[in-house]
Amino acid sequence: MDQESALIIIDFQKGLFGVFDTPYQDKELIETVKELIGKARLSDIPIFLVQHNGVGKDSPLSPNTDGWKIHPALKIEKEDIYIQKDHPDSFQDTQFEKELKSRGIRKLFIAGLQTEYCIDTTCRRAYSLGYEVILIENGHSTYDTEYLRAEQIINHHNQVLGSWFVTLKKSTEVIFTE
C-alpha cells in the first residue's frame, strides 16, 4: 500500500450530468472513475470527493440540492473524505491541504470535471504546492463551447498540463501501489 497517495475526484456531481448539457464521453468517464475508485479501494488508498458549491438557486450545484450530490453511479463509503469548494481551485479556502498533510499524502491522482476549470486549476495549484500530480488523461471531461469541442479542450489541457505540471496516465496504467 502506498500511504502517500490519494485519489481525488473533482466535481463528479449529478448536476453536471445532463442538466444543461452532458460531458464529453460521459458514460466512459463514469466507468473510468468507477474503475479508479475500485483500484483505490483494493489498495486502501484514500478517496477525496471534491464538491463545488454553486452560487444561486439556478445553479445545478447549489449546496444541498439533488444536483449538488455526488453522481449516484459512484459507490461512496463512509471513510471517503468530502471537500467542499467555492472556487475552481480545490485548495482555495478549503480544508483540502490540511486533510492531505494530516494523512501524509504527497501524490495526487486526479480525475473529474471540468477540464478547463477545476481540473486545470487544481493540478497547477497542487504542483505549485509541491505535490506529485498524476492526471488521469482519460479520467476528466468537459463540454463543447462556442469556440472548441470538448475533445479539443481535453487534448489541449492534457498536452499543456502534461508538459510541465503533471504526469499523464491512462486509467488502465494506474497502479496505486507503485
Cell of 48: 477525496
- Indicate the domain borders of the chain: 5-104+111-148+165-173
Strands 167-169, 81-85: pairing kind: unpaired
Phi, psi at 5, each rounded to 5° = -105, 155
112 membership: H or E segment, kind and range:
strand 107-113
Contact predicate 174/55, CB 8 Å: no
DSSP run (H or E) holding 11:
none
* Residue 178 pLDDT: 65
- Look up residue 44 and give its amino acid: D
pLDDT recorded at residue 1:
45
Could you tell me what percent of the chain has a pLDDT over 70?
Answer: 98
Q: Which CATH architecture has domain 5-104+111-148+165-173?
A: 3-Layer(aba) Sandwich (3.40)
Q: In the chain, pLDDT over 90 holds for what percent of residues?
A: 90
Mean pLDDT of 126-144: 98
Half-sphere exposure of residue 31: CA atoms within 13 angstroms, side-chain side: 6
What Cα–Cα distance (Å) separates residue 80 from each residue in 8, 46, 115, 136?
Answer: 10, 7, 23, 19
Distance, C-alpha 165 to centroid of its chain = 15
2 pLDDT more than 70: no
Q: What is the pLDDT of residues 51-88, one digit of tens each?
A: 999 987 788 899 999 999 999 999 999 999 999 999 99
∠ Cα 99 69 55 (to 5°): 85
